[in-house]
């Protein structure tokens, strides 16, 4: 019975290693070389609490509902820039969604009045 337990433990360890390698923790930031840039800056909003990961590997928490300036995408991440003196970095694509209206400026319809 004891030999059977050690055999199960020995087979469990390689299985766990394989499982962990299939689902990486995504602790690294993306590379700027992998980014497909957009033609213009697009505003996205975070839909969950997430974190921005800089190219140096530093993490900065971002609260749900924060607006982000996205300039490009990798396969799994969005490249976010700051227009203030905050760091640029990567956020997971699944944590953001586009905001309607782009820049957040309301577009008003201009009405023409005919002169009588």
User: Number of structural domains, the chain?
Assistant: 1
Q: In this structure, is residue 63 part of a structural domain?
A: yes
Q: How confident is the prediction for the chain on average, in pLDDT?
A: 78
Domain ranges, residue 91: 32-98
Report the CATH number that the domain containing residue 92 is assigned in CATH: 2.30.30.40
Query: Number of C-alpha atoms within 13 angstroms, CB side, residue 32?
Result: 8
Q: Quick one: what percent of the chain has pLDDT higher than 90?
A: 46
Q: In this structure, is residue 67 part of a structural domain?
A: yes
Q: In this structure, is residue 113 part of a structural domain?
A: no
Does the structure show a pLDDT above 70 at 110? no
Q: pTM of the entire structure?
A: 0.62
**31-74 tens-digit pLDDT:** 888 899 999 999 999 999 999 999 888 999 999 999 999 999 99
What is the average pLDDT across 85-102? 86
């Amino acid at each position: 019975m004891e030999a059977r337990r050690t055999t199960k433990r020995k087979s469990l360890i390689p299985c766990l290693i394989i499982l962990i390698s299939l689902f990486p923790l995504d602790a690294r930031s993306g590379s700027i070389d992998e980014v497909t840039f957009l033609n213009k800056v697009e505003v996205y909003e975070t839909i969950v609490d997430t974190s921005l990961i800089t190219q140096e590997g530093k993490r900065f928490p971002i609260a749900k509902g924060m607006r982000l300036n996205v300039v490009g995408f990798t396969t799994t991440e969005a490249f976010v820039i700051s227009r203030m003196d905050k760091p640029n970095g990567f956020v997971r694509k699944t944590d953001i969604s586009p905001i309607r209206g782009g820049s957040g400026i309301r577009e008003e319809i201009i009405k023409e009045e005919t002169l009588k």
